[in-house]
Each structure stands twice: as structure tokens, then as C-alpha cells.
Structure 1
Amino acid sequence: MSSTKTKAGIKWSVIDQVVKQLITLIISGILSRLLTPAEYGLLGMITVAIGFLQVFRDMGLGSSIIRKQEISATEQSSIFWLNMAVGCLLMLLLMLAAPLLANFFKEPRLTLLVRVMSLNFVMGAMTVVPDALIQKAIDFKSYFYRNLGTVLAGGILGIWLAYKGFGVWALIGQSLLTTITGVIISFRMVKWRPRWVFNKALLKNHMKYSMPLLGDSTINYWVRNIDNLLVGKFLGASLLGIYNRAYSLMLLPVRQISVTLTRVMFPSFAIIQHDSGKMWDQYGKMMSLVAMISFPLMSFLGVYANEVIFIVYGSGWLEVVPLFKIFCFLGAIQSVATLSGSVFYATGRTALMFKVGLVSKALMIIGIAGGLFYGRLLGMVWGYVISSTFAFLIESYFVSHVLLNKLRDFFLNIIPEVLASLLSMLLLLFAKYWYKSSENSLTASFMGFHFIAAFFTLVLYIYLLKRLNSKGFKLLMKNIYAKKGTYTSPDDR
């Protein structure tokens, strides 16, 4: 694999995630001050309603394009028209089912909201092939500008509509314009255009690869959304809005960290898919690098949850704090667990991934539903975290198996980050409870003291990483001190 291309891919993927999530956080903070928890709860209900059908829009064919090293123009056009047909069918089904969904949630407003949101299916289907071609080329510079344009366009419209008093329609408008902008920019960035051809025979190999992905995505959808479904059904829109804000804020850093690397890992791993030794070495370094960033970050967010929620959402959302604290632990796990998909995708072991997902995701559904039954909202969050931990262990075992290694070796990659994060978090906790502040005020002395505490905690963390021989830390340092114009890629051993 080209070190220069990998370096550029990682660099622009990092820039993309940092800038996009920063803008998203700002937009979310503004919208949270203009909209109510109940309005966010309506969006949560809509997401549950259309999210399942969203799984079928791509059907894993975008990943198949990325994995296949040589793909013809006829194959690309055939995939495009198949996705368009599926998108139109899904839009029609959702328009017909909208009244049933409104009746299920006992929320009449959902009928029109869901029908308008269904337009996303047709527009979104248009971007599957061009977006896959951009990622296949590891051209994440173009992808950065694409995402920047979509987030800004949708966010600006959403804020304007919310300011004008359109309520939940601000969130609908934001979503639609984001999709439309993505279609326009993606087609401007690639030279490819669909031709009026459709070859069913050429799709067979793609479908054989993508169908297990579709099955896994379907299972994953129910795990990711059964919480919203249950909260919306049994606890109401307001509590769903609070839950959604806690979960969404946790996902911001998780996506920023892990998605940054997985988007580059998949096309890069696809090139060396037959060399399990090299893939294991790269995977271990990437896992260590993600853990090195996410573990202390989620620890910091958990310790300072009150202050984070107050700054981001305002004083009207402090009910989010207890949920967010628990979710921070889940975020640390998910940031590392997300990487496993690249291994299954690149090696073509999608059927195994589907079978593993059946077991691990069923465990998570039981944990979520059981937690809600015994402990309402807080119990459900704990059930989510505990079951996700066991699911992570199961998936980690099979990733190690695919790459011909042991589970023990899998976790040895992140032991330094775990120990360093735990010790650093203890220092933060000591500082936090030694100098307490009220939930609703952030004084200059409080901010100054904890800025100094955070600085010394960071110094301690870096020292511990070095002493504990962290793979991710060594990889980062090699590239920082590399001569100008050179790069130490994960596969340089």
C-alpha cells in the first residue's frame, strides 16, 4: 500500500471528522436552545420509523465497490440503477406506512413528517456509487469538501427554520437539504456518470458479498434503535429527546475518532487482504492509536459531564447528565469495537460477521429491553453498556480468529492505554471533587484550576504511555519526528 496515499487519506479523514463534528456540535448546541426535548423526541420517532428502511438503501453494495480491485463501468451503472429502484420502492412503502407509524406512537403529526422525510431515500440512493468511488481512491480530501458543504448547508437552514418558529420542521429541512447537497457535490467531484445499462449477471458476485452485510446492518439497526423505539413507546417524547441528546453527544467523539481511521482502513486493508500477518500488525497499531485518543477523552467527558452538558446544551438539559456519564464508558468501548468491521469487509468474511452479529446483537437487545423493564431509562442505559461489553468480547475473539491470532494478543494491544487512562482519570476525579463548583456556574477560578489540572493529567498520561510501551504512541511519535516529506505508515515494521 502507498504510504503517501495512506498518509494523505488519514490526514484528510482526520480533518474531515474534526471539522464536521465541530460544526455539528455548534449547530446542535444552537438548535438545542431553539427547540424543545419533545421536538427532538419527534425526530427520534421519525428516525426509528425510517431508519430500518434506510439499511436497504445501500445494501452493502458501496462496500463491494470499494473491496473489488477492478470494477467495470457496466457494474457501476448496474449497481446505481438497482439502488435507485430500491430507493423509489422504499419511499413508496414509507409513504403508505406513515399513518400506521403515527398510530403506533400515538402521534398524529408523524404522518406528514414521515412522508416528507421519505424523499431522502431516492436522493440518497444517487450518492452510493460516487461516494464509494471517492473512498475507493482514498480521496478523502474531496470527501472532506463534500461533507463540509452538506453539513453547513443543512445546518444553516435548520437554524433559520428553528429561529423562525418552525419547530420540528427545522430538523426535517436540515436533513433534506443535507442529502440534496450531498448528491450535487458528489456528482461534481467524480467523472463517472451512470449509463443506461443494467447487467443482472454482473451483480451476482456483488450480491453474494453484500447480502451478509445487509443482514448484519439489519440486526445492527434494531440494536441501535430498539432503545429509541422502547423509550418513545413507553416513556414518551420528552424522555426520548433527553435520551437522544445523551447518546448523540457520546457518538460525536466516537465517530470523530474511529470513523476517521475505519474509512481509510477498509480500502487500505482491501489491498493487502491476503496477508493476515501484515493486517494484524496494522490492526493492532490502529486499535492502540484509537484507544490512546478515545479512552482519556471519554474519561474526561465523564468526569466533567455536568460542565460539558451545561456548555453544549444549556441549563435546560441537565437531566442528560446521568445518562451521558454512563454512555462515556460505552463510547470508549465502541470507538475500538468499530474497527473490527474493516477486517471482515476487507477479507470477504461478511458471512462470518453476520453470524457473529446474530449472537452479539441478540445479547445487546436482551440487555437493553431487560434494563428498561427493571430500571426504566437509567436501567436501560446500564443494560446497553453491560451487554455491549460482552458483545465486544465476542466480536474481538472472531477478529483475532480471522487474522490467525489469539484474543489475549488482541487485548495486549490496548492494555497500556487502559492503564494510563485509569490512572489519569483518578487524578481528574481528585481535582474535580477537591474543587467543586455548582452545576450551573462556571467561574473563572474554576475554569483556570481545572485547565491546569487537565494539563498535568495530559502530561501524566503521555508519560505513562511512553513507559508502558504503547504501540499507538510510538506510531504517533515516529510520524511527528519523521523528516519532512516522509511518513511511517502502520504497515512499516
Structure 2
Amino acid sequence: MTQTPGPDPHQKWFDREHLGQDLKGKSVKGGLRTVGAQLFSFIINIVTTIFLARLLLPEDYGLVAMVTSFTGFILMFKDLGMAQAIIQMDGLNQRLVSMVFWFNFLVSILLALIIIAMGPLLVWFYDEPLLLGITFYYSLAAIFGGLSTQHQALLSRQMHFKELSEITIAASFFSLMPALWMAYAGYGYWALVAINVLNPAIAAVLLWFRCDWRPNWTGIDWSIKDFIGFGAGVSGFNMINYFSRNLDNILIGRQIGSDALGLYSKAYQLLMLPITQLRDPLNAVATPALSSLHKQPEKYRHYYEQYLFLLAFFSMPIVAFLFVTADDIILFLLGPNWVEAAIIFQLLAITAFIQPTASTRGMVMLSCGLSTRFFFWGLWNAIFVTIAFVVGMYYGGLNGLVIGYAIVNYLILIPSLMYCFKNTPVRVADFFKTVAAPGLISILSAAALYQLVAIELDIHLFLQIILYAAVFGVLYLALWFPIGALRSRILGIVDLVKSLLNKKL
């Protein structure tokens, strides 16, 4: 008697029709959890960095940086963009995902071997024998990443952000504690190596524990060509984007010197810190949600507008506030030796004002399966940015480079939106209609705050910044209420947060 095969126990990780039943609730709760996890991990890292800086020598950080500047580029290819394909694509089944898993795992082994082979080259290049051991252990990070990429993608596909948040927190905590002990015990740079190897190892174990999907032992054939094609676009974009985002550092260090590079990199890092803490977790939540709606244009457009408004509502005023208070922020956080970074900080803020919302171009293309267009957009963007860097530096040095970067970002904004949104549910008008109010109100609030900043207050610098933040916050929120349409949007955010606070997240 022939038995009827039972249901595939892994199918629950592939189907996502049920997500539409409470997509808004899942997205908001997922966003809060992800932001919370990111914030907790950020605090852990800051506290640990303070301690490690007192236990380790600058040479320890320098040794590790010599390796990571090269391995960072190689590790971009650990999943070849296929994790994004798992999140976005329809029609998944156990055989396909298993083949993608084994393909990614083989790639991760290949990358690990490449990293190991780089060891002698780095020793020769830097004339530093200690790099050989560091490079070997960094190769393990590639293998751990290859073992867990599909599990993380499946959890994201099903919007299990609570589990992902818990894994992020646990991996950060349990990788940093041994590193602190190693630094205290005198192991030097090995403490830093331990952080970067233990984190992906712990995350891999926890991902396998939280996601019960397991790959079948299967061969690899051409049926995964769609995944490879999709991933090729993502990987190509990442490679080009990595180059364009690091070209400014190369030019500044080569043409001007280490002092200028230090000012620039610290200003950029400080400005991007609050933005990335907001943007990255929101993107992690929005991408799988939009991917599940790409065949429902009206719902897709509505969700995108809600997400874009939330991102603009918080990111634009943060950047506007930092622009106005740059001198005080730099002096308080970095000290008097860094005051020259304030002007760079302000010039970078001009671009950062629109950058978080403009970066949703990529999310729209990927969630609609347009990875090839995503690659070509990255290519054209890299060309324009490179020209801006070179011309700006030629005519204006460091400040000219930053100004050129700002000019090109605003010049290509509308053409890039037209290209990236073509044949997607989103229109260019949807973008500007959504970001117009947060942008205008942020600028008006910043202009009003500037009048207060111009007055020399005889109070402690920390209290002065707190006062500025309070005044700016009141101004920003107050300007939303006179107009009914704007008031309803902000009240909607307030009601949503209040309802979530009354529920268990």
C-alpha cells in the first residue's frame, strides 16, 4: 500500500501569504524590536570599546585594521546576494533553498581559502609577521557566515524580528565578554580578533537553533540560476558601492594627508552614527514586507509611503539639528583638538539630510526583483560620485570634495528616482509628496534654533546641548499641528506607539 507523503515541515519557511493578515503590526513591532536590539548592541560596543581602549595599545588596533581593510571587501561576497533573493523571491521550495545553502557554503569555503592565501601577501606588504595568524582566524568568519546566511534570510522572510533581535543582542554580548577578559589577561590584539570571530560563530549557532529549517543533502544544478542572477546584481552593486564609498578616504589620505583624513573620517562616522542606528533596522523590517507585496501595487505603494514617512520624520530633523549645533557637538564629544571637523561635519550633513530617504531607491528595486537595474544604478552612481570627488578636491581640497559630493547627490536625485522607480508601484511624486513636510518643517525648526545658538549662553556645554535639543524638539513637533493633514499624520504615529506600548512586543 502506497503511503501519501505528509506535508513538508519546512514549507512554513517558504510561504508568506499569511503575512498580509497583519503586515502593519508585524512591521512596526519588528521595527521597534530591531531598533531596540541595535541600540542595546550599540551600547554594549561603546562600553566595551571604552574599556578595551584602556587595556590595549594603538598597535593592537593597527594590526587588526591591516587585515580587516582587505577581508572586509572579500567578505562582501559571502552570500553573493542570494540572501536577498531568499527574502524577495516567490516559489521557494526545500530543494531550491537547499541548493542555495550548499552553493553559499562552498563559496564561503572558497573565500576562507582566499583569506588564508592573503596572509603571506599581507606579511610581505606590511613587513609584519604577526598578520599571518590574524588572517588565518579571520577566515573562520567567512565559514560561519556561509553556514547561517539562509537561516537568517528565512527568519527575515517570515518577519521573525523578535528572534533576530535576540540573536543580535546575544551574539554581541557573548562575543565581547571573552574579549574583555583576554584584553585584561594580556592577550593584546587577540582580544579584537576574538570579537570578530566569535560574533558570527555565536550568531550561526543561535540562528540554527531558532530557525528549524535544515538543508537536504542535494546536488547543485542550473535550477538556481534565478538566484545566481538576482544575487549577481546585488553583489555587483555592493562591490561598486564599496569602492565609491572608500574612494574619498583614499583620495584624502593620498593627496592631503593623515590629519585631514582623521578629521574627515571622524566627522563622517559621528554624523552617520545616529542615522544608521535608525535607518538600518527599519530597512531590515521594510524589505521583506515590501517583497511580500510586490504583486499588490496599491498596498505596496501605501506601505512604502508609510515607511518613507517614518524614516523622513525622524532622520531629517536629526540631521538638521546636528547641522546647526555642529560646533558644540564636536567640542563636547571629541574635544578641542577636533574643532576643525565641525565645518566638514556641517557640509556632510547637507548630503545626509536627503540620503536616508533617497537610499530607499535600492530597497524598492530589490523588493521588486530588479537586481540588474540595482547593479546599473550602483555603477552610474559610483561614476557620478567619483567625478564629484575628483573635481571637488581639485578645486577646493577637502571641503571641495565634500561640497562636490553634496552637489552631485542633489543633481542626480530626480533622474535617479525616475530610473529606479520605473515599472514599480512607486512614483517619483510619491517620494516628494511624502518627504516634503518632514523636510520643510526640519529646515524651519533648524532656522529658528540657529537664532538661539547664535546667543552665547553662560552654562555648561552639556546642558547647552540638552537645551538646544529640547527647544528644537518642541519647535519641530509644534509645527506639525496647525495644519490638519499634518496633525493627523503625527497623531497617527503617537496612537500607534501608544497601542504598541499596551501590548507585549
User: Shared topology, TM-score over 0.5?
Assistant: yes
Q: Could you say if the C-alpha distance between residues 288 and 231 of structure 1 is closer, same or farther in structure 2, counting changes exceeding 3 Å?
A: same
Distance 2:219 2:489 in 1: 46
421-430 or 319-328, which deviates more: 319-328
Distance 1:309 1:101 in 2: 36
Q: Could you say if the C-alpha distance between residues 388 and 87 of structure 1 is closer, same or farther in structure 2, counting changes exceeding 3 Å?
A: farther
Distance 1:26 1:308 in 2: 20
Q: Could you say if the C-alpha distance between residues 247 and 36 of structure 1 is closer, same or farther in structure 2, counting changes exceeding 3 Å?
A: farther
Q: What is the alpha-carbon root mean square deviation over aligned residues?
A: 3.4
Residue by residue over 1:391-414, the C-alpha shift from the partner in whole angstroms, topping out at 9 and shown as x without a partner, is 544432234433356534421211
Which residue among 454, 461, 464 is the counterpart of 2:469?
454
In structure 2, the partner of 1:420 is 441
Q: Could you say if the C-alpha distance between residues 335 and 34 of structure 1 is closer, same or farther in structure 2, counting changes exceeding 3 Å?
A: farther
Contact 1:95 1:118 in 2 (8 A): yes
In structure 1, the partner of 2:496 is 479
In structure 1, the partner of 2:29 is 8
Distance 1:38 1:231 in 2: 23
Q: Secondary structure at the match of 1:465?
A: coil
Distance 1:104 1:234 in 2: 21
Residue by residue over 1:23-59, the C-alpha shift from the partner in whole angstroms, topping out at 9 and shown as x without a partner, is 3344445556666777666655544312222221111
Contact 2:368 2:424 in 1 (8 A): no
In structure 2, the partner of 1:198 is 219
Contact 2:86 2:154 in 1 (8 A): yes
Residue by residue over 1:382-438, the C-alpha shift from the partner in whole angstroms, topping out at 9 and shown as x without a partner, is 34443344454443223443335653442121111111111211233222231257x
Which residue among 79, 93, 96 is the counterpart of 2:117?
96
**Residue type of the alignment partner of 2:303:** Q
In structure 1, the partner of 2:368 is 347
Tell me how far 1:139 sits from its aligned partner.
0.6
Q: Could you say if the C-alpha distance between residues 483 and 142 of structure 1 is closer, same or farther in structure 2, counting changes exceeding 3 Å?
A: closer
**Residue type of the alignment partner of 1:225:** N
Residue 188 (structure 1) aligned with residue 205 (structure 2): no
Distance 1:64 1:107 in 2: 40
Distance 1:315 1:157 in 2: 35
Greater relative CO, 1 or 2 (CA 8 Å, sep 6+) = 1
Distance 2:403 2:196 in 1: 30
393-402 or 228-237, which deviates more: 228-237
Residue 272 (structure 1) aligned with residue 289 (structure 2): no
Tell me how far 1:311 sits from its aligned partner.
5.1
Number of residues paired by the alignment?
Answer: 481
Residue by residue over 1:52-108, the C-alpha shift from the partner in whole angstroms, topping out at 9 and shown as x without a partner, is 222211111111111134422222222222112111212222332345456667877
Which residue among 479, 499, 504 is the counterpart of 1:464?
479
In structure 2, the partner of 1:250 is 271
Which residue among 340, 349, 357 is the counterpart of 1:328?
349
In structure 1, the partner of 2:14 is none
478-487 or 254-263, which deviates more: 478-487
**Residue type of the alignment partner of 1:466:** F
Q: Could you say if the C-alpha distance between residues 291 and 197 of structure 1 is closer, same or farther in structure 2, counting changes exceeding 3 Å?
A: same
Distance 1:377 1:273 in 2: 42
Q: Could you say if the C-alpha distance between residues 262 and 401 of structure 1 is closer, same or farther in structure 2, counting changes exceeding 3 Å?
A: same
Distance 2:179 2:288 in 1: 34
Which residue among 279, 292, 296 is the counterpart of 2:313?
292
Tell me how far 1:369 sits from its aligned partner.
3.8
Contact 1:367 1:384 in 2 (8 A): yes
**Residue type of the alignment partner of 2:154:** L
**Residue type of the alignment partner of 2:494:** M
Residue by residue over 1:175-215, the C-alpha shift from the partner in whole angstroms, topping out at 9 and shown as x without a partner, is 22222221122122111233322232331221122221121
**TM-score for both structures, normalised by structure 2:** 0.83
Tell me how far 1:226 sits from its aligned partner.
2.4
Distance 1:289 1:332 in 2: 14
Q: Secondary structure at the match of 1:403?
A: coil
**Residue type of the alignment partner of 1:358:** L
Contact 1:38 1:241 in 2 (8 A): no
Contact 1:273 1:347 in 2 (8 A): yes
Residue by residue over 1:257-282, the C-alpha shift from the partner in whole angstroms, topping out at 9 and shown as x without a partner, is 22222212111112211222322222
Q: Could you say if the C-alpha distance between residues 165 and 486 of structure 1 is closer, same or farther in structure 2, counting changes exceeding 3 Å?
A: closer
Tell me how far 1:131 sits from its aligned partner.
0.6
Which ranges of structure 1 fall in alignment gaps of 5 or more residues?
438-442, 488-493
In structure 2, the partner of 1:440 is none
In structure 2, the partner of 1:430 is 451
Distance 2:56 2:321 in 1: 28
Q: Could you say if the C-alpha distance between residues 239 and 267 of structure 1 is closer, same or farther in structure 2, counting changes exceeding 3 Å?
A: same
Distance 1:33 1:352 in 2: 47
Contact 1:424 1:461 in 2 (8 A): yes
Which ranges of structure 2 fall in alignment gaps of 5 or more residues?
1-19
Tell me how far 1:134 sits from its aligned partner.
1.1
298-307 or 188-197, which deviates more: 298-307
In structure 1, the partner of 2:12 is none
Contact 2:373 2:420 in 1 (8 A): no
Q: Secondary structure at the match of 1:419?
A: helix
Distance 1:330 1:46 in 2: 31
**Residue type of the alignment partner of 1:452:** L
**Residue type of the alignment partner of 2:479:** L
Q: Secondary structure at the match of 1:202?
A: helix
Which residue among 302, 325, 328 is the counterpart of 1:281?
302
**Residue type of the alignment partner of 1:2:** Q
Instruction: Show the 5 A alignment for 1:361-376.
Output: 361-376=382-397
